[in-house]
Amino acid sequence: MPDKPDLAALVGSRICHDLISPIGAIGNGVELFVMETAMKGPELSLITESIGHANARIKFFRIAFGAASTDQRMAGTEVKSILAGMTESGRYSIDWQGPVDLARRDVKLMFLLILCLETALPHGGQITIGWEDPRWNLRAAGPRLKIEARLWECLIAPDPAVEVGPAQVQFLLVPEEVIRQHRRLSTELTANEITLSF
């Protein structure tokens, strides 16, 4: 019997797919405008940076919230490029130490976990991602981590009574994805560091 379709992932894929093209077109239009008029200034710089950041976030969200089949693959260089674009001029950085070829499903789960780690780094920090066959390891460290215990507990033991807002939806999606992939997630939280592995 085939697995039940992941409707949330299909909706995520659809939304991101429909947004990537117009955002790219806006970016191309701004480039043409700058070339034609030779205009420069803080306003155009802000627009260009915003378009680049939006494009990177949409690509990231397409993988994190979109559908991923078991046979889809991704190049490590593409993952590294998406992460670099998403964190450019941001409050935290990501050190990617992954392989050159990987399963898109692994990247999906990894990106959802990055969104979880992002909530713990309001004051900045670094996320390090590495592969130690057969497990992925994600480590977040920062000067002052913000850890909401109830959310992190949901990763291992989902509790329907815990209220989660749109900014924390990844904490509900991670356990579902872990089960879907027949993986086991380990978490270790301290005052200055969070380590996740799957």
The predicted structure's pLDDT at residue 3? 64
For 70-129, what is each residue's pLDDT tens digit? 899 999 999 999 999 888 878 899 999 989 999 999 999 999 999 999 999 999 999 999
- Are 91 and 174 in the same domain? yes
Quick one: what percent of the chain has pLDDT higher than 70?
Answer: 97
State yes or no: pLDDT of 4 exceeds 80: no
CATH of the domain at 119: 3.30.565.10
Could you tell me the residue range of the domain that residue 92 belongs to? Answer: 73-198
Q: What is the pTM of this model?
A: 0.87
pLDDT at 111: 97
**Token digits for 35?**
């070339």
Q: Which of 13-22, 110-119, 182-191 has the lowest mean pLDDT?
A: 13-22
Of 74 and 161, the structure prediction assigns the larger pLDDT to 74
Q: What pLDDT, on a 0 to 100 scale, did the predictor assign at position 23?
A: 84
Cα–Cα dist 98/192, whole Å? 23
pLDDT at residue 1 tops 70: no
Specify the pLDDT at position 109.
97
In tens, the pLDDT along 20-56 reads 888 888 888 888 877 777 777 787 888 888 888 888 8
Asked if pLDDT for residue 17 goes beyond 90, the answer is no
Domain match, 78 and 62 both: no
Domain boundary among 10, 33, 67: 67
Alpha helix (H) residue ranges in the chain: 7-37, 42-65, 76-87, 104-119, 149-156, 170-180
pLDDT at 125: 95
Q: What is the mean pLDDT of residues 172-180?
A: 94
Mean pLDDT value across residues 129-150: 93
Distance of CA 123 to the CA centre of its chain: 18
Examine the domain organization and report whether 133 and 86 are in the same domain.
yes
One domain, residues 84 and 16: no
Q: How many domains does the chain have?
A: 2
pLDDT for the residue numbered 2: 54
Q: Helix 104-119 and helix 149-156: axis angle, to 10°?
A: 160
Tell me, yes or no, whether 130 and 153 share the same domain. yes
Residues 6+ apart with CB under 8 A from 52: 27, 85, 88
